[in-house]
């Protein structure tokens, strides 16, 4: 079988031929059809991600495929089931072993590429905005990096929850993608974010995937009693949060890492993923896949993320 292997944090990955994994009693083997790429894969390859495995390893946090073997201690999953897998690694292998709690059945009408694309980005946005920030109908949601992998889903989820959505992105083309996903107001990255948002009445909830100066501007444009979610730091700078301003404006900053829930509350992750895959089957959400490439072009696909040349998701197909 083929896998995308990382043997050094300083070198690009490479496609290698390795043996197919055996199936343990508490595992299942998935023939992986599609793998969604994430910015976290880049961090993992550099060795700077919070859950970076020991070398060598295969990245690919989320994937989808067909079950081809089931351990004798597993029930409720059978051979030939179509499954979405939030495994945290190994998604860029043609065959991989996973635990049953990492797997969610794919409903009819959802493709492998969609199932691979919907998990982390949509899961992050749904749990962050609904469960944690408790976004309410009529509130104003500011989404930075609004055309990226997680940002675009926040626009879509925010509209489903009844919010007015302000989208912030780097170009007219990316803003057009956010607008197509339902954004009500568009702000180009060249504009004064703080001034524009304040002129619009301020933000009640901020979903920030950029960090740095963008976070600071969004923080200062948040209404009293607002909630802020630092989702990622694609701009490269982790912001420092002024506690005195939080105190004066009664702000809440919510730390949230979706993958962390797999360790202490995997049942919550599965509930979120079942809901999202159901919404996908019903057409309520439509994963935006800007690039779909073969396994041999994984390094080029990762460059699209690194250079911010993609919108929505980049998906790798594992089989020709």
For 125, the enclosing helix (H) or strand (E) is helix 112-126
What pLDDT, on a 0 to 100 scale, did the predictor assign at position 51?
86
Exposure of 30 in the CB half-sphere (CA atoms within 13 A): 33
> What is the pLDDT averaged over residues 128-154?
96
CA distance 91 to 63: 5
Residue 188 has pLDDT above 90, yes or no: yes
What percent of the chain has pLDDT above 90? 92
> What is the pLDDT averaged over residues 261-270?
92
What pLDDT, on a 0 to 100 scale, did the predictor assign at position 235?
83
> What is the pLDDT averaged over residues 167-183?
95
Using one digit for the tens of pLDDT, what is the confidence trace for 71-80? 999 999 999 9
User: Could you tell me how many residues make up the chain?
Assistant: 320
What pLDDT, on a 0 to 100 scale, did the predictor assign at position 256?
93
What pLDDT, on a 0 to 100 scale, did the predictor assign at position 290?
94
Residue 149 pLDDT class (50, 70, 90 cuts) = confident
> What is the pLDDT averaged over residues 44-65?
94
Residue 303 has pLDDT above 90, yes or no: yes
Residue 310 is encoded by which pair of tokens?
């993609």
Q: 168 and 189 in contact (C-beta within 8 Å)? A: yes
Cis ω on the peptide bond leading into residue 56 (within 30° of 0)? Answer: yes
Using one digit for the tens of pLDDT, what is the confidence trace for 78-123? 999 999 999 999 999 999 999 999 999 999 999 999 999 999 999 9
Q: 164 and 183 in contact (C-beta within 8 Å)? A: no
What are the helix and strand counts (H, E) for the chain?
10, 15
Q: What angle do CA 109, 287, 320 make, to 5 degrees?
A: 70
- Phi and psi angles of residue 228, each rounded to the nearest 5 degrees, phi first: -125, 135
Residue 67 pLDDT class (50, 70, 90 cuts) = very high
CA distance 155 to 141: 8
Alpha helices in 20-109 (DSSP H): 39-46
Q: Centre a 10 Å sphere on the Cβ of residue 297 and count the other Cβ atoms it contains.
A: 15
What pLDDT, on a 0 to 100 scale, did the predictor assign at position 50?
84
Using one digit for the tens of pLDDT, what is the confidence trace for 26-41? 999 999 999 999 989 9
Question: Strands, DSSP E only, in the chain?
Answer: 2-5, 14-17, 28-36, 62-70, 82-86, 95-98, 103-105, 140-144, 164-169, 185-188, 203-208, 222-230, 252-253, 289-294, 313-317
What pLDDT, on a 0 to 100 scale, did the predictor assign at position 21?
97
* Alpha-carbon dihedral sign for residues 198, 203, 208, 212: positive
What pairs with residue 315 in β-bridges?
36, 292
Q: Centre a 10 Å sphere on the Cβ of residue 150 and count the other Cβ atoms it contains.
A: 26
C-alpha dist (Å) from residue 173 to 7, 204, 256: 37, 26, 29
Mean pLDDT of the chain: 96
Ordered by where they begin, the domains of the chain are 2-119+259-317 (3.90.180.10), 135-253 (3.40.50.720)
What pLDDT, on a 0 to 100 scale, did the predictor assign at position 139?
98
The better pLDDT of the pair 240, 252 is held by: 252
Comparing CA positions, the residue from 6, 251, 234, 266 lying closest to residue 123 is 266
Residue 315 has pLDDT above 90, yes or no: yes
Using one digit for the tens of pLDDT, what is the confidence trace for 199-248? 999 999 999 999 999 999 999 999 999 999 999 888 889 999 999 999 99
Residue 135 pLDDT class (50, 70, 90 cuts) = very high
What pLDDT, on a 0 to 100 scale, did the predictor assign at position 247?
96
CA distance 132 to 228: 10
């Amino acid at each position: 079988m083929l896998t995308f292997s990382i043997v050094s944090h300083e070198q690009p990955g490479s496609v290698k031929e390795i043996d197919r994994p055996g199936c343990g009693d508490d595992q299942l083997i998935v023939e992986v059809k599609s793998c969604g790429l994430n910015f976290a894969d880049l961090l993992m390859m550099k060795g700077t991600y919070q859950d970076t495995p020991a070398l060598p390893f295969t990245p690919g946090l989320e994937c989808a495929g067909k079950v081809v073997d089931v351990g004798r201690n597993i029930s409720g999953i059978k051979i030939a089931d179509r499954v979405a897998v939030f495994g945290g690694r190994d998604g860029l292998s043609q065959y991989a072993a996973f635990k049953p709690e990492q797997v969610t059945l794919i409903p009819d009408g959802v493709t492998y590429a969609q199932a691979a694309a919907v998990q982390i980005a949509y899961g992050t946005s749904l749990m962050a905005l609904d469960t944690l920030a408790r976004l309410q109908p009529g509130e104003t949601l500011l989404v930075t990096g609004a055309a990226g992998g997680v940002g675009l889903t926040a626009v879509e989820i925010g509209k489903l929850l009844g919010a007015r959505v302000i989208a912030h992105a780097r170009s007219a083309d990316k803003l057009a993608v956010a607008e197509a996903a339902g954004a009500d107001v568009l702000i180009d990255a060249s504009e004064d974010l703080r001034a524009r948002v304040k002129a619009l009445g301020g933000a009640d909830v901020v979903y920030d995937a950029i960090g740095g100066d963008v976070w600071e501007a969004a923080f200062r444009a948040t209404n009293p009693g607002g909630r802020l979610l630092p989702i990622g730091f694609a701009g490269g700078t982790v912001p420092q949060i002024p506690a005195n301003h939080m105190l004066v404006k009664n702000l809440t900053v919510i730390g949230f890492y979706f993958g962390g829930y797999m360790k202490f509350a995997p049942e919550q992750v599965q509930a979120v993923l079942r809901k999202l895959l159901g919404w996908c089957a019903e057409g309520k959400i439509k994963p935006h896949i800007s690039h779909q490439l073969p396994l041999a072009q994984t390094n080029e696909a990762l460059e699209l993320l690194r250079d911010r040349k993609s919108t929505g998701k980049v998906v790798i197909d594992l089989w020709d």
